[in-house]
Amino acid sequence: MTTTGWLQRILRSFVGAVIGVLLVIGSIILLWWNEGRAVDAIRALDQGAKQVVEANATAVDPTNNGKLLHLSGAMTTRAPARDTAFGVGGDDLLRLKRTVEMFQWTEQKSTHTQRNLGGSETTETTYSYRKEWADHPVDSRHFRDAGGHHNPAMPIHSATFDSQDVQLGAYRIDRGLLESVSAYTAYDAASAASLPADYRKTATCCTAARIRAHPRSAISRSAMRQSRRRR
């Protein structure tokens, strides 16, 4: 609980007004700069659209070197994506995405402010804690009340595994282009050949039993999503 006097409130209001004026000036400059970039991008796209050449994906035409090409076909791979931690993979997997969540403590903060006689204010802050599924580690060391709300380190994290050799006909797909593939579908967790310690298979994911190092700590679960060859 904290109490703020009227002089402090006036000072904070003045500082807030100054910051507001600076933000307005900065937003005008940023808007002008962003509009210039948008115009440049539109001009570049228009120019590129006029230079695009339709190409046959089955063979590389040397006369197209240095040109913008448009081609279509099915992407294939001889080195499919694989998650070695869970032993998950497939013959034609271009990308494999592992999403890991951990059931852990989270902190909620609520603040109530009351005005007092004389112009001062009293602010009361309340902290509460509950367990939730989260796809990132929550650092309980920063909790207001860390006692009894300890979160262990996540033993396994979310990750995306890409094939190292993807072809579209005679053309090799580079890493940047492959990363734009985001049409994932659910992958059957029952196909996992091996599981990390303390994990077990369930209907839709692989769930960990309690982590041995922390008998009262959180439980983690992992789900798989796949992206196979597409046209």
pLDDT given for residue 231 in this prediction: 46
Full domain range(s) for residue 195: 74-228
Q: Do both 149 and 205 map to the same domain?
A: yes
Q: Is the pLDDT of residue 53 over 90?
A: no
Q: Do both 200 and 128 map to the same domain?
A: yes
Q: Is the pLDDT of residue 46 over 70?
A: yes
Q: Do both 167 and 83 map to the same domain?
A: yes
Of 36, 51, 66, which residue constitutes the final position of a domain? 51
| 46 domain residue, yes or no | yes
Instruction: Quickly tell me which residue has 């004389």 as its tokens.
Output: 118
pLDDT given for residue 205 in this prediction: 59
Strand runs labelled E in 88-148: 88-89, 93-115, 121-134
* pTM of the predicted model as reported, rounded to 2 decimal places: 0.62
| 123 domain residue, yes or no | yes
State how far Cα 32 lies from the chain centre: 30
Q: Do both 15 and 123 map to the same domain?
A: no
pLDDT for 189-222, tens place per residue? Answer: 666 666 666 666 665 555 554 433 333 334 556 5
| 67 domain residue, yes or no | no
**Lowest-pLDDT range of 6-10, 112-116, 133-137:** 6-10
Q: Do both 95 and 200 map to the same domain?
A: yes
Q: Is-contact 132 102, C-beta < 8 A? A: no
pLDDT band at residue 129, thresholds of 50, 70 and 90?
A: very high
Q: Work out the average pLDDT over 152-167.
A: 88
C-alpha 87/C-alpha 187 separation (Å) is 13
Percent of the chain's residues with pLDDT above 90: 6
Q: Do both 10 and 98 map to the same domain?
A: no
Q: Is the pLDDT of residue 107 over 90?
A: yes
C-alpha 200/C-alpha 190 separation (Å) is 10
> What is the residue-averaged pLDDT of the chain?
78
Q: Do both 130 and 81 map to the same domain?
A: yes
Q: Do both 219 and 152 map to the same domain?
A: yes
Higher pLDDT, 11 or 162: 162
Number of domains in the chain: 2
| 153 domain residue, yes or no | yes
Q: Do both 154 and 190 map to the same domain?
A: yes
